[in-house]
Chains A and B, each alone.
Chain A
């Protein structure tokens, strides 16, 4: 694949961008969300 272009012309498809955005969101939620605790049992 020798036909390269400058970084400025990068192109990621919308579906891939959505996946990456979802990862960031899930990671962000994961940072804050806690699992239910059984400590009261």
Chain B
């Protein structure tokens, strides 16, 4: 074939005739309302895209500060809830139908792929909210991405990167997958019910036309466009109602300034641990440093350590020395110099004494100069260091310092969020039922549904048995989820599993009219003029 255009056109005409794309007749069993769930999923996706475009056009400040912006944000939130709601139901239904049968494995697989990519898209959406929920999800998720060695490339703490994934790459991927999925559905048509008792359907053959495939099946009038339109309107109204009645959560994020103001002792305690290297981040390991505290292993293999220290972070320099260097005060400079030239033993004595004094101080009160009120003791230059750092943080300057990277724009919140992840974020998350042992990221602050679709992921963190309860929990959960996802994807070719729906028998309820007709014997006569069977007869 020398003409590529002609070849493509002929191939499209042959494989996807317009009467299959827009059918006006379908098998009568398609009258079940369960067949609307796919259309409802697509309708929800359209609302997601439209509301997402509006949010992207006006930006984060708009949806945080204006009533209209918050409403559109709520529409976006509820359309995502609707999308997963209908998609999960569609997945259940097609599973019980064994919808991958008769050459429809590709349809099933693209559907599963759409589900998986949608979960990642929603996840990056939660990371794009720029509120407290975002902060907590980011610091929780970084342990998983670091554990499997992709923390540098896919850094949940870099909101600029997550926003890019969320508003372009992932929606584009979902759109492409959904188009392929829908084309697969129209190309093959809906699957036939499992054979009725005594029924001898024509065996499926590769390349079989729909006319031949549906031979013996009663066909009925069908209006695809009207169905999609009605479902779309219903979904839109539902989403708008939920947004108007229930709104959506948008809890203010924590800042170093707010933490230093509300809990100066806690802030200083964490700062001290960053200076003496006893903090969780100082002992975390890759990608931040060479420690091994949070390095995870899969057997003898640590992808986290293999990926190396790709985002080096010296906690003393980043959280103490660096910010103090921005303060133009000779007393502060002298205090830093005094601490640095002291022996390790002397430094240890000062930090131990100072830490003990902080631990005994349960008051949040400061003196008139804004300094922590501690009993007299041998703390060396530490009071000067940490009172200056506290004042710097309380003024808001530290938030800016930790974001500054030498460029004009900053979107990577790794440094401030790692600091907040030591104490302030987990404390607040626990009070909001968001901790790892409280189903964590699946929940949403406030009276709102969260990412319920993550239940299978968060479930494993609740298991008090190795390997899910231990230092390698994130890797273990990642492996289990990968295997389960692979099984879901490959159901059409897995012996046993591919036959499971027939054994479960729910298809007898879904297609009960079909079975009544086929097994009743006289069904054809009872339907009078509607006895026409198969598109071939119609044609």
Verify A4–B442 contact, CB threshold 8 A: no
CA A15 – CA B448 in complex, angstroms?
6
Q: How many A-B residue pairs have CB under 8 A?
A: 116
Q: Which residues of B contact A16 (CB under 8 A)?
A: 439, 442-443, 449-450, 452
Residue of A nearest to B29 (CB): A34
Among residues 212 to 248 in chain B, which have CB atoms less than 8 Å away from a CB atom of chain A? Answer: 220-223, 227
Verify A10–B33 contact, CB threshold 8 A: no
* Shortest Cβ gap from B215 to chain A (Å): 20
CA A37 – CA B28 in complex, angstroms?
9
Selected from B37, B474, B530, the residue in CB contact (under 8 A) with A30 is B37
Cβ contacts B187-221/A at 8 Å (1 or 0 each):
00000000000000000000000000000000011
Residue of B nearest to A15 (CB): B449
CA A33 – CA B440 in complex, angstroms?
36
Q: Which residues of B contact A12 (CB under 8 A)?
A: 439, 442-443, 455
Cβ contacts B509-539/A at 8 Å (1 or 0 each):
1100100000000000000001000000000
Among residues 5 to 25 in chain A, which have CB atoms less than 8 Å away from a CB atom of chain B? Answer: 5-7, 9-16, 18-20, 22-23
Verify A34–B32 contact, CB threshold 8 A: yes
* Shortest Cβ gap from A1 to chain B (Å): 3
Selected from A1, A5, A13, A26, the residue in CB contact (under 8 A) with B474 is A1
CA A16 – CA B470 in complex, angstroms?
27
Q: Which residues of A contact B468 (CB under 8 A)?
A: 4
Task: Please classify how large the interface on chain B is, using the bins under 10, 10 to 19, 20 to 34, 35 or more.
Answer: 35 or more
Selected from B31, B447, B461, B506, the residue in CB contact (under 8 A) with A37 is B31
| B462 at the binding interface (Cβ < 8 Å) | yes
Verify A9–B449 contact, CB threshold 8 A: no
Q: Which residues of A contact B88 (CB under 8 A)?
A: 23
Verify A15–B33 contact, CB threshold 8 A: no
Verify B470–A2 contact, CB threshold 8 A: yes
Q: With A16-B449, A20-B452, A30-B89 in contact, is A4–B436 under 8 Å at CB? A: yes
B residues at A contact (CB < 8 Å): 28, 31-37, 81, 85, 88-89, 92-93, 140, 143, 220-223, 227, 433, 435-440, 442-444, 447-450, 452, 455, 461-464, 468-471, 473-474, 506, 509-510, 513, 530
For this complex, 18 residue pairs linking A to B, each with C-beta atoms less than 8 Å apart, are A1-B143, A2-B436, A3-B437, A4-B436, A4-B473, A7-B462, A13-B449, A15-B444, A15-B448, A16-B439, A16-B443, A18-B449, A19-B81, A22-B85, A27-B89, A31-B506, A38-B221, A39-B530
Question: What are the 7 tightest A-B residue pairs by CB atom distance, in nearest-first order?
Answer: A1-B436, A38-B221, A15-B449, A4-B469, A33-B33, A5-B437, A30-B34
